[in-house]
Amino acid sequence: MHDQMHDEWTAGTRYRVRRRGRTRWEESLRCAGGELEARVQGRTAELAQANQALQDEIVERRRAEAELQRVLAQSEQMLTAITSILIGVDEDGHVTTWNAAARRAFGRERDEMLGRPFADCGIEWDWPAVNRAIAECRATRRPARAEDVRYVRDGKKRFLGITLNPISGHGDGPMGFLLLAADITERRLLESQLAQAQKLESIGQLAAGIAHELNTPIQYVGDNARFLQESFADLEGVLRTYAALAEAARSGPVPAALLEDVEAAAERADLEYLLGEIPTAIAQSLEGVERVAGIVRAMKEFSHPGTAHKTAVDLNRAIESTLTVARNEWKYVADLVTDLDPALPPVPCLPGELNQVFLNIIVNAAHAIGDVVGDGAGGKGTITVTTRAVPPAAPTRAEVRIADTGCGIPPEIRGRIFDPFFTTKGVGRGTGQGLAIAHGIVVEKHGGAIACESEVGRGTTFVIRLPLQEEGGGA
C-alpha cells in the first residue's frame, strides 16, 4: 500500500515536473518560432522588395533598350533621308558610317564598307585633294573644306564639295572625322551659265560703245580713202602728161605746148597740196587701222574662250585689253590713270573669267563717278588702276587696285556688296550679279582675295590679290 502510494506520488511528481518542463519548452519553442517567423517575414519582405526592384530594373532596361532601338532606327532613317554623302571614319581610319547617298554615289554597299579602311574603299575621286583636306582637319582639329573634287559616277566625271568635321579621339591622339559631301556638278554648271549670261549681258551693254569706238577710226579711214581716191584721179592726169613728156623727150626736142600741158595738169591737181596731204592721210589711215586692230585684239583677248585649266597670263595686258573694251563706258566721265608694274610675273588664271572681273569693277567705277559728275561736262573723275607684286621682298601674290573718285559705298551696305542680286543701281543699270560673280571667280576659282575700301563722298577702291603659284605648284 505504501509502495503503491509512493509510486503514485512519485509518478505524479514526475508528471508535474515533466509538465512544467514541457510548458517551458513549448514557451521557448513558441518564442523561437515567433522570432523565426518574424525573420522569415522580414526576409520575405526584403526578397519581395529586391524582386520588385529587379523587375523595375528589367522594365527600365527594356524601356531603355526599346528607346535605344527607336533612336537607332530614327538615326538610320535620318542617315538614309540625308541626300548628302555621309561617311564616318574612326581614329584608326576605318569606315563606321556609310549612308544611302554614299552607296548611290560610289556604288558600294553599306555592309561591304563598314569596318573597311577608308583609304582602301575604292572610291574613284581626286584622292590628293581629299587627303589634303583630311590632313588639314586632323592637324588643326577644325573643319576643313575641299571644293570641286572630281569623281566618277556612272562613267561620267562630276564634282563634289566636301566638308570634313573632326571627331575627337583620346587626348591628343589620332582623330576620326565625319565626311559630308554633296554633288555640286549641276550647281557649277548653273554658275557657269549664269556667269556666261552675265558676260553676254556685259558685252551687250558694251556693244554700242565698242561699235562707236570702231566707227570713229573706220570713219576717218574711209574719209582718207575717198581723199586718196580723188587725189589719185588728179595725180593720174599729171602722170599721163609726164608720160607724154617723157615719150616726146625720147624722140627729139620737147614741144613747148607739151610743157605747158604738164604745168597746167600740175596746177589743176594742186600738186604741192597733194604732196603734203597724201602722206598725212596715209599715216592717219594706218593709225586708224591699227586702232581698229587694237580694239578687235582687245575684244578677242577679253572674250578669251573658257578653259578648265589655268594658264600663265600677263595681267597688265589683260587689264589694258579690258580698259580698251570698256573705254566708251568711262571716257566721258573719267580720266584713266594706270600704274602697271612691268616686272609683274605672269599669273596662273582663267583669262576670260578674270577679264570679266576687271570689266565688272571698271564699269561699276564709271557708273559711280557718273553719279557724281553727270555727263562730265563740268569736269571728270578719275579711275586709277595699279598692279604690283606683294610682298615686295618675296612676292607670293599679284595685287590689282582699281580706284574711283565716285560717291563711295555707305558702311551699312558695304558688307552686302558681294551678295548675289544685291544692287544700289536703278532699274536697267545692273542685276546685282557683277560683284557676286567677281567674288566667286577670284576667291573660289583662283584661291585669291577681293576686298573693298570705301569712303562716302571720296570714292572706292577694290583690291584683288591673286596667287603667283597654283596650289601645289613649284616655286
Q: How far apart are CA 244 and CA 30, in angstroms?
A: 172
- Segment 244-267 mean pLDDT: 78
How many C-alpha atoms does 412 have within 13 Å on its Cβ side? 1
Q: Between residues 307 and 243, which one has the greater pLDDT?
A: 243
User: What pLDDT does 13 receive?
Assistant: 45
In three-state secondary structure terms, 419 is coil
Residue 117 · residue 192 · CB < 8 Å: no
| DSSP bridge partners of 335 | 382
User: What pLDDT does 353 receive?
Assistant: 86
Q: Which CATH number fits domain 310-475: 3.30.565.10, 2.102.10.10, 3.40.50.170, 3.30.70.2860?
A: 3.30.565.10
H or E stretch covering 320: helix 315-325
Residue 340 · residue 384 · CB < 8 Å: no
Q: Do domains 85-183 and 310-475 have the same CATH topology?
A: no
In three-state secondary structure terms, 126 is coil
User: What pLDDT does 466 receive?
Assistant: 96
User: What pLDDT does 148 receive?
Assistant: 86
Domain extents for the chain?
A: 37-81, 85-183, 188-303, 310-475
- Segment 21-31 mean pLDDT: 69
Residue 340 · residue 358 · CB < 8 Å: no
Q: How far apart are CA 330 and CA 334, in angstroms?
A: 5
Per residue in 187-216, pLDDT (tens digit) is 888 877 877 776 677 767 777 778 878 888
Give the cell for residue 91. Answer: 581614329
Residue 164 confidence (pLDDT) above 90: yes
Per residue in 39-84, pLDDT (tens digit) is 888 888 888 888 888 888 888 888 888 777 776 666 666 666 677 8
Per residue in 211-234, pLDDT (tens digit) is 878 888 898 899 999 999 988 888
CATH superfamily of 85-183: PAS domain (3.30.450.20)
Count CB neighbours of 283 within 10 A.
Answer: 11
Cis ω for the linkage preceding 391 (within 30 of 0): yes
Grade residue 317 by pLDDT with cuts at 50, 70 and 90: very high
At 272, phi and psi to the nearest 5?
-60, -40
